A and B are shown apart, each in its own frame.
Chain A
């Protein structure tokens, strides 16, 4: 935990950055190149106001958040069981290890053309067969293409840390359980899973961060008409740099908040890990 002097230092760094920004903005004197702190703060402190008739900052971050969570959940649901299987069973590792490693270095953005060819502008509205009305407007916000890009971003950190977590379980814990008469299911449930959980949650935290970073590229895809990534690119074409910066700040703050929440959970639930150090 940060103590008081460290908190003061953290705050001082932020303040110094804002001072530098103010000085740079006034020196440049052109808010299209660099808006002032005040202009951006005004947007951030009134997140409910409509911007360029694209909805508010708040609403756009909300849509983005839902998209990220959707892609992220799919990634977690696939990566964790696969990671456990690959960490536990050498056959699964032999089957998928090299195969998945070929796909790992491909940046999520490089998938865009292929993903567009596959999914076009199809969305959850197509999945549920809704083609008009209020629900269509909601569901149409969640394009397959975006969810796929976010999925790719979140998938690898979660997979890697699940494999790592299961593989690095102390052998003596497993031996202990075996001598005490544990079945394979017992070892899995009572030794492997709890021992690997901190690593998995850590991977989930990193994965969420990466998924959030894939957002802007996902929301720049054709057919996107909402989301904070779209807000930023659209504001850029309108030369509204203050909205661009406010959108960036919104992404940064939301991402930092999610990371903080995850860290809190990790600290709370895995305090026992101090032993392993």
Chain B
């Protein structure tokens, strides 16, 4: 299958308030195929979010390159959308106007905007709440709106930075099922960062396990299970245990435990 996103030897360091340089990502390599669902897991602070922000064009790599279809991702790219962990839905706009946001930036006509936005609100099951304001919505609903907004500009790649991290366990499982349905219906390429091994195993076709900081991709694990996945499947449990072992080893050897 053709590769759509290449991450080649990407490194990134941050300067702390004390003036110290801390490496967040160190020579990370990853290739993403068109239409696949990849999860990035790793110990906290391993730079997985940083890597995602580099692909989004929100941060610049210090060394190495991230490309989409051969184009350098030095700034946000039209074909790369993103959903954030925190509530990023604009509180002063209605649900419908939030989904229209990216289309406004692209200079779409109002009628076309509304049509597209309504389509994507339907896709995430939020049509009834088009005129609602974010404060009237639950956390899960707000993330549905954020997903609809990211999809409305029709990007090929959808980046998700712990999109369900702020949700309770039950809502989280429901949202995972919803996301799989949306992924199947739209055929997008999804790169999702999570610290939950279970979430990665439930969703991803491939899981990239990262090392402790400074993060690099330690291992890529194929998940040979069909969707919808059964959490009680012995292989599911075995793979969970294996990934947890890797993460534990990373945390312990990094001395961050």
Chain A residues proximal to chain B, CB less than 8 Å: 170, 172-173, 175-183, 186, 190-191, 194-195, 270-276
Contact = CB atoms under 8 A, between A and B. Distances in A.
Contacts of B88: 172-173, 175-176
B105 A182 contact: yes
B246 interface: no
Question: Which of B81, B105, B153 has the largest number of chain A CB atoms within 10 A?
Answer: B105
A172 B86 contact: yes
A126 B236 CA distance: 86
Contacts of B104: 186, 190
A191 B93 CA distance: 10
B80 interface: yes
B117 to A, nearest CB: 13
A217 B78 CA distance: 59
Interface in B131-162: 133-135, 149-150, 153
A271 B93 CA distance: 11
A180 B91 contact: no
B188 to A, nearest CB: 15
Interface string B120-136: 00000000000001110
Contacts of B105: 177, 180-183, 186
Q: Which 3 A-B pairs have the closest CB atoms?
A: A180-B102, A275-B135, A275-B91
Contacts of A173: 88, 90
Nearest to B81: A179
B91 A176 contact: no
Given A180-B153, A181-B76, 13 more contacts: A172-B87, A175-B84, A176-B82, A176-B90, A179-B58, A179-B76, A180-B101, A181-B102, A181-B106, A183-B105, A194-B90, A195-B90, A271-B135
Nearest to B101: A180
Contacts of B205: none
Given A173-B90, A179-B81, A191-B90, A272 B135 contact: yes
A193 B118 CA distance: 26
Contact of B133 (A182, A195, A272): A272
A272 B93 CA distance: 8
B92 A194 contact: yes
Given A179-B58, A181-B153, A274-B135, A190 B86 contact: no
A33 B141 CA distance: 65
B84 A172 contact: yes
Consensus secondary structure, chain A interface: helix
Contacts of A180: 76, 81, 101-102, 105, 149-150, 153
A176 B153 contact: no
A175 B58 contact: yes
A188 to B, nearest CB: 12
Contacts of A191: 90
A159 B153 CA distance: 37
Contacts of B58: 175, 178-179
Nearest to B159: A179
B41 interface: no
A271 B132 CA distance: 12
B57 interface: yes
Nearest to B153: A180
Contacts of A181: 76, 78, 102, 105-106, 153
A179 B133 CA distance: 22
A177 B103 CA distance: 11
B80 A179 contact: yes
A173 B134 CA distance: 14
A274 B91 CA distance: 9
Interface in B45-62: 56-58
A178 B135 contact: no
Contacts of B80: 179
B101 A275 contact: no
Contact of A275 (B81, B82, B84, B134): B134
B141 to A, nearest CB: 12
Given A181-B76, A181-B106, A275-B91, A190 B101 contact: yes
